Amino acid sequence: MSEFVGSGDRPAWRVALLGLVLACACSSGNSSASPGGGGGGIGASAGGAGSGGEQGTAGAGGSGGLATGLGGGGASGTSAGGIAGSAGAGGLGGMAAGATCPDGDVVALDGAVPVSGAFLGSNLQGAVCLGAAVAYMFRAVSSNVAGQPVLMIQSAAAGDAAARIVFDRPADALYGQLSAFIVLSAAKAGVYTSATSCGSVGVSAILPVPPEVHCGGDPSVCPAGCAHFGPVSSLTCTPIQPERSGVAQTSSDCLGEPQTPAGSWTLTLTSDPDLPAVSADGSVPYVPVHGTLEATLVTSGSGADGSTVELSLSF
C-alpha cells in the first residue's frame, strides 16, 4: 500500500470522527428509517421573513420558508413555518431569510434518520435542510470505548446532499459539512450533555480558494495557501480549501487523545435504540435513533472571529 499525504489543516473534530468511521465496518440494521418526528419540516422556498420565527409542529413542512430571529415563541409573519424547530422559548425559532432550502425528495436510508435544523451566529449562520445529514447509533469498537453506544450524525462530503446545508453567513460558502459523534453511557431515551459524555459536534462552511493562491506544479516548492497532496511517489502542490467552522468538543476525543474543550451540547434521545452487539465478522450494525441536539459552537478558521453559534437539530 502506498503512503498517501493529505492536504491542508483538517479540524481535529473531523479527524476524530474519521477515526471512528474507519474503526467501524458499519452495516445497516433491519429497521427502516423514517423522518424524525421531533422537529417541524423545512419550507421548500424562502418567503417573506417573519418577525419571530414561530415554533412549528412535529413533522409539519410549511411552504413559507425561513423566518427571522431567535424567538421560538415570537409572533410570526407571512412566512411562519420555515425551519420549524423543536426548541421552545429562547430556542432557534427561525433563521434569517436568505438561506433557501432546495427542492427535491429526501431519501431515507435504511438504519438512519434524516436530520434537519438550523445554526445561528454572527459569523456562521444557515440551515440544515432535510436530507443534508443522517443520524444513527452503533456500538463502538475502539478499545477506549469498546461496546459503548455512539450517536453519529454524518453529512455527505459532496454532491446534492452537501448542498442542502445552506448559508446566510458566510455568503460565499460553496457547501457545508455537519458531523457529530458522541459516546454515551447508555442506549436509551434520556438527556445527555457534554459534561457527562465525550465527543464533538461541528458544522463547517467550505469556502472558495482565494484567487491570489497559485500553487504551481513543482512539489518541492509549495507556497502559502498550498499543501502537498497525493501518493508520496507523485506529490502535487494543491490549494488548501479554506473553511470556517463552529465546534463543540470535550477534553477527550473518545479515542484516547486530548483536545481543547470548546462549547457545549445537550442531546435528548426520545427513542430506545435496540443496539445489537458487534457481529462475529467484525461488522457493526447501525440502527435509527430519534431526538434533538442543541449545541453552542465556537467558530474558527478562515474569517472566523471566535464568536459562538447556536445549533439546533432534530432527527
Identify the residue with better confidence: 267 or 52.
267
- For residue 286, what pLDDT band results from cuts at 50, 70 and 90? confident
Lookup: cell for 102 = 432546495
Identify the residue with better confidence: 260 or 45.
260
DSSP letter (8 states) at residue 232: G
Q: Is the model's pLDDT at 88 over the cut of 90? A: no
Tens digit of each residue's pLDDT (9 = 90 or more) over 166-217: 999 999 999 899 999 999 989 999 999 999 999 999 999 999 999 989 887 6
Which segment of 25-34, 64-73, 147-156 scores lowest on mean pLDDT? 64-73
Which segment of 16-30, 74-88, 289-303 scores lowest on mean pLDDT? 74-88
Three-state SS at 116: strand
Identify the residue with better confidence: 222 or 101.
222
Tell me what the pLDDT averaged over the chain comes to: 72
Q: What is the pLDDT of residue 105?
A: 55
Nearest CA to 259 out of 242, 243, 247, 267 is that of: 247
Identify the residue with better confidence: 77 or 252.
252
Q: Is the model's pLDDT at 62 over the cut of 60? A: no
Q: Are strands 4-5 and 25-28 parallel, antiparallel or unpaired?
A: unpaired
The answer to whether 181 and 135 have CB atoms below 8 angstroms apart is: no
**Nearest-angstrom CA–CA distance, 116 and 61:** 11
**Nearest-angstrom CA–CA distance, 188 and 204:** 29
Helix (H), strand (E) at residue 16: helix 12-22
Q: Is the model's pLDDT at 77 over the cut of 50? A: no
Identify the residue with better confidence: 277 or 34.
277
The H-assigned helical ranges of 43-187 are 159-162
Lookup: cell for 228 = 502537498
Burial of 138 (0-12, 13-18, 19+ CB in 10 A): buried
The pTM for the full model equals 0.69
Centroid of chain to Cα 239: 24
Q: Is the model's pLDDT at 163 over the cut of 90? A: no
Q: What is the pLDDT of residue 276?
A: 83
Q: What is the pLDDT of residue 40?
A: 36
Domain boundaries, the chain: 7-30+106-207+242-314, 36-105
Q: What is the pLDDT of residue 117?
A: 94
The answer to whether 132 and 156 have CB atoms below 8 angstroms apart is: yes
Question: Could you tell me the sign of the dihedral formed by the alpha carbons of 180, 84, 244, 132, in that order?
Answer: positive
